[in-house]
Amino acid sequence: MRFVHLLYVALLVALSTTGLHAPASLEARLEDVRAHLSTENAFWGLYVADVKSGRVLVAQNAEQGLLPASTHKLLTTAAALDLLGPDYRYQTVLYFVGQVDGATLRGDLILRGSGDPTFGSPSWPGPDPLRTWAQELARMGIRRIEGRLIGDDNRFDDRPYADGWDIDYVTTQINLGLGFAVGGLSYHDNIVRLRMQATRPGAPLAFTQEPFDYLTIENRAYTAARRYGEAIRIERAFASEQVRLTGSVPATYRGTIELPVANPTRYALAAFRHYLEQAGITVAAELFDVDELPAPPRYDRRQALLVHFSPPLAEIVRVINHRSHNFYAEQVFRTLSPDGSAEGAARRIRAFLQRQGIDTRGLTIRDGSGLSRKNLVPPAVLGQLLVAMQHHPSRDAFVASLPQGGTRRSTLEDRLHGVPVRAKTGSLLHVRTLSGYLTTRDGRTLAFALMANNFTTSPSRIVRTLDEMVRTLHTAP
């Protein structure tokens, strides 16, 4: 008996010295990644589950509400596919109420929006719908419009900004896809592109607005003699369409900035008037928001003059998640609500999650894009949503909306090359997140939600850690 005991002990020693001991747990391996890259000072929330069985493999701070950044878009797009369907299309309709007198329209031309994010969007290929409508009216023989141009934006409420957005997002933020107002009638992503070019030393900066002159720009910026060093500053009051440019640019400067408009409805109407005049139609009509009328128009007996349909929702969702398009996400988010409010949309998303059997305690929803710093999403909610969507009728559209590692013109363009992963990134100040699906070496599909908040190390180190965690999950036994 003593001999058998000694043999057993010797065998254990031999196994331990030859490296054949039990492998470390998956959670321990992810801990090793964080320790190796010295990112322990971040607050981490992790959730990993096997999609087929639903078995939870990793859960660390998984019930804690954390800032999701743009992985919040997974909630918006999944709920939209569930509630609206992948084939849903927005309609923007042009109505005429009045009389036709020869080549003159006398009465009201009404643009009725439905919240279409792609309407005249520079992010979507194809002809501008307002230009197309103006040309179509000209082909009908219209040469003059007298009366009113009315914009009906009542599909959404009149609160264009989400709770928890930074004021810079809606006044002077440039080239980050952050500056926009949400609107039931929106056009050109509700932004103006300002293309600027240096002139001669000491002379004012040259600029043009696209798609047309809309903002009132006070140009105090000038061209300096130096060759490098851009120093443009933007001054603007909240909800104002007046912008002041100051500072200087080098003699070789060419650049483009994007500035948000404060009134999307008036912007769309002004654009339509611009294209009508370009088409040779004289516009002797005032611009009105529908809220300025004594009563809203009735459409039950009105026949549409012209109608524009958006692409299917599945294609819009793909843009949202591939390119992390904040404006598109916010428009789709508000569409979920019967009254176009952020609160109504949040209730719809929460109800959708609960129907999937997901516990929504710890969840706070303030917007659809993840820009709000008042959003709180537990990693378990994201992870369980990803598992649920693998068994949802809109599975294919949802999965296709997530970029693969290394996909061009996506948020994963420079990340996770060669790794079988589809995932949504997230980025805010002191926040980096990554959530999606990956295939392991043995062919299993895992859903994961990896979230880092409140870190003080470099963001690039956190991103490297997230990517290395995904590679670890891919190679895990």
For 56-69, the DSSP string reads: EEEEESTTS-B--G
Residue 97 lies in a domain: yes
| Confidence at 210, pLDDT banded by 50, 70, 90 | very high
Q: How confident is the model at residue 153, as a pLDDT?
A: 97
Residue with tokens 């990693």: 379
Q: In terms of domains, do 216 and 79 share one?
A: no
Average pLDDT over residues 88-99: 97
Phi first, then psi, for residue 317 (nearest 5°) are -60, -35
- CA 27 to chain CA mean position, Å: 31
Which residues span the domain enclosing 379? 25-86+314-475
Average pLDDT over residues 148-170: 87
Residue 186 lies in a domain: yes
Domain boundary among 259, 289, 310: 310
Q: In terms of domains, do 326 and 210 share one?
A: no
Q: Which two tokens stand for residue 365?
A: 């929803």
Residue range 388-443, pLDDT digits in tens: 999 999 999 999 999 999 888 899 999 999 999 999 999 999 999 999 999 999 99
Domain boundary among 286, 310, 334: 310
| Confidence at 172, pLDDT banded by 50, 70, 90 | low
Q: In terms of domains, do 451 and 319 share one?
A: yes
Distance CA 174, CA 234 (A): 10
Q: In terms of domains, do 188 and 80 share one?
A: no
Q: In terms of domains, do 261 and 320 share one?
A: no
For residue 132, how many other CB atoms are within 10 A of its CB? 16
Residue 196 lies in a domain: yes
For residues 353 and 237, the model is more confident at 353
Q: In terms of domains, do 303 and 331 share one?
A: no
| Confidence at 115, pLDDT banded by 50, 70, 90 | very high
Q: In terms of domains, do 257 and 392 share one?
A: no
Q: How confident is the model at residue 319, as a pLDDT?
A: 97
Residue range 357-399, pLDDT digits in tens: 999 999 999 999 999 999 999 999 999 999 999 999 999 999 9
We report the CATH number of the domain holding residue 189 as 3.50.80.20
- At residue 178, does pLDDT exceed 60? no
Residue 444 lies in a domain: yes
Q: At what angle do helices 342-355 and 73-83 cross, to 10 degrees?
A: 80
Domain boundary among 263, 291, 310: 310
Average pLDDT over residues 244-269: 93
Beta strand residue intervals within 280-408, DSSP E: 282-289, 304-309
Q: How confident is the model at residue 312, as a pLDDT?
A: 98
Q: In terms of domains, do 45 and 107 share one?
A: no
- At residue 169, does pLDDT exceed 90? no
Per cent of the chain over pLDDT 90 is 80
Q: In terms of domains, do 67 and 192 share one?
A: no
Q: In terms of domains, do 266 and 382 share one?
A: no
| Mean pLDDT taken over the chain | 91
Let me know the angle formed at the C-alpha of 438 by 436 and 443, rounded to the nearest 5 degrees.
150
Of the CA atoms within 13 Å of residue 328, those in its CB half-sphere come to: 28
Closest CA to 453 of 436, 428, 473: 428
Q: In terms of domains, do 300 and 350 share one?
A: no
Q: In terms of domains, do 130 and 80 share one?
A: no
Of the CA atoms within 13 Å of residue 458, those in its CB half-sphere come to: 4
Residue 268 lies in a domain: yes
- At residue 13, does pLDDT exceed 50? no
Q: How confident is the model at residue 125, as a pLDDT?
A: 87
Say which range, 36-50, 107-121, 380-394, has the weakest mean pLDDT.
36-50
We report the CATH number of the domain holding residue 467 as 3.40.710.10
Q: How confident is the model at residue 430, as a pLDDT?
A: 95
Average pLDDT over residues 102-130: 96
Average pLDDT over residues 317-331: 96
Domain count, the chain: 2
Q: How confident is the model at residue 195, as a pLDDT?
A: 95
